[in-house]
Chains A and B, each alone.
Chain A
């Protein structure tokens, strides 16, 4: 019998899914925000999105919004997007620029330094008033770090550092040859998916569905070929998961819509690497798909229990993007089509999970063993 990914590990077994409620209940969602989303490192974007002092981007997690900006000395800062005066949202756009790095509230023009978060001006409030001091009202900072061209934020002031949490650089060593730090965004797309964030990540954790809903992906990298798993010597952590590599079908040169080569492969890849697409998953919300000539990243952001915003990034060699005859549509279409197939499937699962007959959930098969691992992670984080 041909098996998806060539089979499953010995410990994989049949077990229950989460009960249906976990995918729509407001209290469950609130607990996940507190226990997972506001405690872990999240991929907020790419450094090149905010190259200059004062450039910013914003990130929405449920009811919270964060502004991530480039400070004067080149570091990246992140703050709650909330004025300390009456609580107004400070920046309304998804991206933009603060002149001279000053964040000015649209409501009463309280002005903050984007470099330090300090309140530098509160117009018309007497400066000599003993009951008011600018230094008492700085923006509330959120932690921000960078790695390999990515910007990561963490809402928890007591969380371990990014390096510790991801076990950098050891956990990332096998991906060095993709030179992620140098790659640039060729395309960015956002998708609003009417499904709970866990369903979208769970979908990414199995390829059982691939033959059924991904004819394009399956023709290029047949899911019934054995997967190339990563050696256990390469460290994982609670959130860093190496998901191995899928192999190109004979006759195909690239993991894209038609298998044809439109761009040179990354220079440090071996002949073997060139015929693979490597996958790295970062719990709770992102995956990095490394093909031989581009990289696709998906990062999901929960909006409500039943809605998730997914941001997709396609990265390429900057020289390729700069060339006059740059062509990237083959890669963009491949993941745009495949992603939309995933979103549709997740939306159907969301609908079924809200049924009373799914109250106690369904069943995970050994083929879904990585979904079971993700479930275990969510349970572990939310139980205490």
Chain B
């Protein structure tokens, strides 16, 4: 049974419902728009991570790139980010990706933007 109280708490804390847990299998990623933010959500070893969906270097949608374990490669210049914390692992990007809090409740994915 769904705990309505918890949903209210999530909403009050700035979380947005973005989709169902089943839509992101392990090792895969998805892009979605929350307000004006493009967010990329990836699942690694069962855990969900959410980062800015646009490369911090030029303009590229990272979902068009490649995810190799925790390494997220940009499709345009192959900058590499750690999808778990947004850190730059390889240039040309120099700025880390903003990271968003993400949580799963009763098979639903919620992101704080």
Contact = CB atoms under 8 A, between A and B. Distances in A.
Interface string A221-239: 0111000000000000000
Contact of B59 (A215, A250, A251, A252): A215
Nearest to B77: A212
A211 B33 contact: no
A210 B59 contact: yes
Q: Is the interface of A mostly helix, strand, loop or mixed?
A: loop
B72 interface: no
B36 A211 contact: no
B57 interface: yes
A219 B57 CA distance: 12
B64 interface: yes
A215 B76 contact: no
A211 B64 contact: no
Nearest to A251: B36
Contacts, number: 34
Nearest to B56: A215
Contacts of A217: 59
Contacts of A210: 59
Contacts of B18: none
A86 interface: no
Nearest to A223: B59
Contacts of A2: 61, 64
Contacts of B64: 2
A250 B36 contact: yes
Contacts of A212: 58-59, 76
Contacts of B57: 215
Given A2-B64, A211-B76, A212-B76, A222 B59 contact: yes
Contact of A249 (B36, B58, B60, B76): B36
A213 interface: yes
A210 to B, nearest CB: 7
B58 A251 contact: no
Contacts of A259: 36
Nearest to A224: B61
Contact of B58 (A213, A250, A252): A213
A252 B58 CA distance: 19
A254 to B, nearest CB: 11
Contacts of B33: 250-251
5 contacts: A2-B64, A211-B60, A218-B58, A250-B36, A251-B37
A215 B58 contact: yes
B63 to A, nearest CB: 11
Given A211-B76, A215-B58, 16 more contacts: A2-B64, A210-B59, A211-B58, A211-B59, A211-B60, A217-B59, A218-B58, A222-B59, A224-B61, A249-B36, A250-B33, A250-B36, A251-B33, A251-B35, A251-B37, A252-B36
Given A2-B64, A211-B76, A212-B76, A219 B59 contact: yes
Interface in A190-227: 210-215, 217-219, 222-224
**A-B interface, 6 closest residue pairs, ranked by CB to CB distance from nearest:** A251-B36, A218-B59, A211-B59, A215-B59, A251-B35, A212-B58
A31 B89 CA distance: 52
Nearest to A260: B36
B48 to A, nearest CB: 22
Interface string B51-82: 00011011111001000000000001000000
A296 B54 CA distance: 26
Contacts of B60: 211
Q: Looking at A211, A214, A224, A259, which has the most chain B CB atoms within 10 Å of its CB?
A: A211
A170 to B, nearest CB: 36
Interface in A256-312: 259
A219 B54 CA distance: 8
Nearest to B58: A212
A93 B82 CA distance: 56
A179 B59 CA distance: 33
